[in-house]
Amino acid sequence: MKYPKDGKFGEFGGKYIPETLVPAIEELEENYLKFKENKEFKKELDYYLKQYAGRPTPLYYAKNLTEKCGGAKIYLKREDLLHGGAHKINNTLGQALLAKKMNKKRIIAETGAGQHGVATAMACAVLGMKSEVYMGYKDTIRQKLNVYRMNMLGSKVHPVKSGSKTLKDAINEAIRDWITNVEDTYYLLGSAVGPHPYPVMVRDFQSVIGEEIKTQMKKLSNKTPDIVIACVGGGSNAIGTFYPLVNTNTEIIGVEAAGKGLKSKYHSATLSAGSKGVLHGMMTYLLQDDEGQVTETHSISAGLDYPGVGPEHAYLKDTNRVKYRSATDAEVIDAFLMLTRTEGIIPALESSHAIAEAMKVARKSKRSESIVVTLSGRGDKDVEEVQRYLSKNDKN
């Protein structure tokens, strides 16, 4: 859906927000519409994406992994090679530049694994703006390296101790801050979630991934990829990968975090196991109990530990355009180790979900077919977490 005027993807999305935020959301939408087609803005963003962030990223043929799986050719879209180590910088540069044009002096953000927080801190540093980041207390422990990075980049990190102490609560706190400081603060949301226009805006800034995949695959094989796969938490790297390919013949697969299994309570697979509801300003699929209380989630990957999902994904699921599957923590660790050992690339645990699915799909596909997996980030931040998992589960 190009630009939904009412912010709706079918019945999903919308603006379920406290009244105090309405003028801020309206101001944001007005400015986004104004600048997204503005030549100067586009030129400036393009400059930062190329010269600062390192775009375009390579489309790497993972020959060893392909041979190991024995099926379709696996290509990796190397968002892990971007400055900061994740796709998050595409969106933060876009939004921080927009905030600057809007003369906002203070930027707030939330982060799960810390990659969005780091990317926000970087974009704000290079554009000369102040930033503060909300992060679930639990996530500050498991991703302490990213907390240090944010601090060094000049960003203040607020550990959030309420609720499940993860991303969902960091978003609640960021929204509370925004309500209180609405007149001079810009909320730089990290995923394709939240009230309209955030899901559309984040998608547009991340669509550079899918656009490049299209161009690069065309050069390689003169067609779009047969299959694309990306991991889905809130779903920003996935929607950025999928959106430019939605109107093509490419088969599209999103992969959620099945944690300890979909039948357990310990997962974050919102689309696979959730139901419709309203959270963080949007109507979408949610993990909730019989009473409509949002439930706690689990994933080995802090970046996917979120009980909601971007509303456009909810729409793509219901219209059957995209298949949503899931990978367990155990499958994710296997995929993480497999890519690390076959290709010498340490993937983020988030991206390892997509790798896990790609390995399954490749085995069942023809050798003539191509699979593009978005490697949304690098796994340096996850090394300790993987080590903990391996020693606990006696694996090596």
Partner 1 sequence: MTRINEKFAELSAKNEKALITYIMVGYPNESATISIVRGLIKGGADIIELGFPFSDPLADGPVIQNASTVSLNNGTKITSFFKIVKKIRNETDIPLVLMTYTNILYHKGYASFIAEAKKAGIDGFILPDMSIEESKEYIESAKNMADTIFLISPNTTKSRIEKIVKTSSGFLYLVAVYGTTGIKAGIQNYTLKAIKKVKKIAKGKIPIGVGFGVSTPEDVKKYITAGADAVIVGSAFLKLIEKTPKNSLEKSIASFTKSLKKQTILK
Residues labelled catalytic: 88, 110, 376
DSSP 293: P
Compare residues 151 and 295 and give the one whose CB is closer to partner 1.
295
User: Which two tokens mark 249?
Assistant: 């013949």
Compare residues 154 and 292 and give the one whose CB is closer to partner 1.
292
Residue 7: Cβ within 10 Å count: 22
Could you give the count of Cα atoms lying within 13 Å of 118 in the half-sphere of its Cβ?
23
Shortest distance, CB of residue 28 to partner 1, whole angstroms? 14
Shortest distance, CB of residue 275 to partner 1, whole angstroms? 8
Shortest distance, CB of residue 197 to partner 1, whole angstroms? 13
CB-based contact 33:102 (threshold 8 Å): no
- Distance separating alpha carbons of residues 286 and 295, to the nearest angstrom: 9
Compare residues 307 and 377 and give the one whose CB is closer to partner 1.
307
Shortest distance, CB of residue 289 to partner 1, whole angstroms? 9
User: 3-state DSSP call for residue 84?
Assistant: coil
- Distance separating alpha carbons of residues 362 and 374, to the nearest angstrom: 15
For the chain, what percentages of helix, strand and coil (3-state, to nearest 5) are there?
50, 20, 30
Q: b/e string for 341-370 if b means 16 or more Cβ within 10 A?
A: ebbebbbbbbbbbbbbbbbbbbeebeeebb
Binding residues (CB under 8 A) for partner 1: these are: 6, 14-20, 22-23, 162-163, 168-169, 172, 175-176, 179-183, 275-281, 283, 286, 288, 291-295
Compare residues 182 and 220 and give the one whose CB is closer to partner 1.
182
Compare residues 185 and 206 and give the one whose CB is closer to partner 1.
185
Shortest distance, CB of residue 288 to partner 1, whole angstroms? 7
CB-based contact 139:61 (threshold 8 Å): no
Compare residues 162 and 393 and give the one whose CB is closer to partner 1.
162
Shortest distance, CB of residue 287 to partner 1, whole angstroms? 11
- Distance separating alpha carbons of residues 384 and 381, to the nearest angstrom: 7
